[in-house]
Amino acid sequence: MPKDSSGALTPGKLSPMRQVPTEIVRPEYVGRPGPKPHEGGDRYDEETIVRIRRASKIAAQALSVVLAAAKPGITTDQLDVIGHEFLVSQGAYPSTLGYRGFPKSLCSSLNEVICHGIPDDTVLQDGDLLNIDISAFFDGVHGDTNGTVLIGSASQELELLVERTREAMLRGIRAALPGRQVNIIGRAIESYAKRFGYGVVKEFTGHGVGPSFHTGLIIPHTDDPEYDTIIEPGMVFTVEPMITLGTADWDMWQDGWTVTTKDKKHTAQFEHTILITEDGPEILTEA
């Protein structure tokens, strides 16, 4: 993602798609235009939850490894290699690789990229803001997580954006109590973010996750009463708000994946996969 004359990011050069050892089991959507429709709802039995815990732990470890390597001078493609090789070393398949044609093993979203940035030959620079979104498919289920870091030194404005975006995610998670509607999650996130004049992206939401990468369950990040699914014990889903310094309006690049803020101001995101228990939410992707 080099920059144009105005300083906005532009697409960089992609390396070939990475290979996964044949002995590692692929998700059903690999090699197909898209996934099969999810069946079976969003509540899981204990055996499935045990497997989701394992996949989520691998994803969390992968995220930690990649973020630790995110320093000035490294390319986002090199970070993709690190994430890919870690997942494969654990016997896990990178969930994004081949999902609806996505060509890489993680998403790298830099500065004004809201989500789904494709790793390329872009070199990280001092003062950049980078989100890494990485997922693991292991033993038939997925774990999904992401986090944002500052590269080198950064302004207080960006430090606060990152800190407050993480807090917004945690407030959304804490609101996810059994018996409530899922819209309470978005209400908690948006009300907090609006205190600081931030934008909250509405169109890209959290989702159910487990045997399917995306189950069809929508978890809003804004106060949206139309999403009225009741939160129940045994549910597993992600909470992953995207918070912007300016407008929440966005553009999509011609690659069909990379989403940027329309005003090209910076944005941050954090994500956890959570399990709903009788006592409330449990984070499964804690490192």
Nearest alpha-carbon partner for 65 in 90, 86, 88: 86
- Print burial letters for 175-204: b (CB count within 10 Å at least 16), e (below 16): bbebebebbbbbbbbbebbeeeebbbbbeb
Separation CA 39–CA 34 (nearest Å): 15
Separation CA 43–CA 275 (nearest Å): 9
Nearest alpha-carbon partner for 203 in 259, 133, 161, 245: 259
List beta partners, residue 66: none
How far apart, in Å, are the Cα atoms of 23 and each of 26, 88, 140? Answer: 9, 10, 14
> Annotation-wise, does 286 bind a ligand?
no
> Annotation-wise, does 271 bind a ligand?
yes
Cβ contact 247:105 at 8 Å = no
Q: 279 burial class (0-12, 13-18, 19+ CB within 10 angstroms)? A: exposed
Cβ contact 256:30 at 8 Å = no
> Annotation-wise, does 214 bind a ligand?
yes
> Annotation-wise, does 144 bind a ligand?
yes
Nearest alpha-carbon partner for 224 in 241, 208, 202, 209: 202
> Annotation-wise, does 282 bind a ligand?
no
DSSP assignment of 215-256 equals -S-EE-SS--TT--PBP-TTBEEEE--EEESS---EEE-TTS
Binding residues for a divalent metal cation: 133, 144, 207, 240, 271
Binding residues for substrate: 116, 214
Binding residues: 116, 133, 144, 207, 214, 240, 271
